[in-house]
C-alpha cells in the first residue's frame, strides 16, 4: 500500500554540458577578446565603451552561471506531481491528480514543439525540460498541458502504472 506523502519517484536533471559550454564559447570568448584588446590599448572597431563591455561580460557570465547551476526536480507522490526549475523557482509547484485529466510518457521534439530546453512553450502548452526528448505529458481538466522532461522513462511509466490502481 502506498502511504500518504510517500515519494514514489524522484528525479533531478541538469542542462547538458554542451549548452553551458556552448554559451561560454559563443558569448564569453568574444567578450574576453574585447576586454583583452582594451587592456592592450587596441580598439575592436566597436562603439561599445569599456564600462559597457564589462557590464555585458558580467551579464553573460551570470547567465552562464545560472545555466550551470540550474536543475529540474520532479517528485511524484500519491497526491500528485511536484516540480521546480531551480534557481528560478524556489518552491515546488504542486499538481494534484484530481486536476489532471490524463498523464502519459512520450517522445517529443524540444526545438520544434517548444523552442528548446528550459521553461518553454506558450500559454496553455508549456514544457519544463533540461535535456533529451522524452517527457511526462500532463493534460489538465481545464485544457492546459505541461510536459516535464525525464531521463527515467521506464521507471516513470512503472510508477504511473502503479498509481492507476489508487486513483
C-alpha triplet 72, 73, 75: angle, nearest 5°: 150
- Write the pLDDT tens digit of every residue in 82-114: 999 998 889 999 999 999 999 999 999 998 998
Query: With the C-alpha atoms ordered 57, 59, 63, 65, is the resulting torsion angle positive or negative?
Result: positive
Instruction: Find, among 146, 124, 144, 123, the residue nearest to 135 by Cα.
Output: 146
For the stretch 145-166, pLDDT in tens is 999 999 999 999 999 998 874 5
Whether residue 163 contacts residue 78, with contact meaning beta carbons closer than 8 Å, is answered with yes
Task: Answer whether 78's CB lies under 8 Å from 2's CB.
Answer: yes
In the DSSP assignment, the letter for residue 40 is T
Among 2.30.29, 2.30.110, 3.30.70, 3.30.310, name the CATH number for the domain at 7-13+72-164: 2.30.29
pLDDT tens sequence across 19-53:
666 766 776 677 777 767 766 765 555 555 777 77
pTM: 0.75
Task: For residue 11, list its beta bridge partners.
Answer: 74
Locate the domains of the chain by residue range: 7-13+72-164, 15-69
Average pLDDT for residues 58-72, to the nearest whole number? 82
Amino acid at each position: 500500500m502506498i502511504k500518504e506523502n510517500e515519494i514514489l519517484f524522484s528525479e533531478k536533471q541538469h542542462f547538458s554540458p554542451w549548452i553551458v559550454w556552448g554559451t561560454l564559447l559563443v558569448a564569453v570568448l568574444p567578450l574576453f577578446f574585447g576586454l583583452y584588446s582594451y587592456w592592450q590599448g587596441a580598439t575592436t572597431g566597436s562603439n561599445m565603451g569599456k564600462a559597457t563591455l564589462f557590464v555585458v561580460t558580467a551579464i553573460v557570465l551570470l547567465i552562464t552561471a545560472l545555466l550551470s547551476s540550474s536543475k529540474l526536480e520532479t517528485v511524484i507522490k500519491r497526491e500528485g506531481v511536484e516540480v521546480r526549475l531551480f534557481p528560478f523557482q524556489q518552491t515546488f509547484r504542486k499538481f494534484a491528480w484530481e486536476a489532471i485529466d490524463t498523464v502519459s510518457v512520450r517522445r517529443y521534439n524540444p526545438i520544434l514543439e517548444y523552442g528548446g530546453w528550459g521553461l518553454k512553450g506558450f500559454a496553455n502548452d508549456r514544457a519544463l525540460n533540461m535535456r533529451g526528448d522524452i517527457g511526462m505529458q500532463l493534460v489538465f481538466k481545464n485544457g492546459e498541458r505541461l510536459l516535464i522532461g525525464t531521463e527515467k522513462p521506464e521507471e516513470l511509466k512503472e510508477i504511473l502504472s502503479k498509481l492507476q490502481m489508487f486513483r
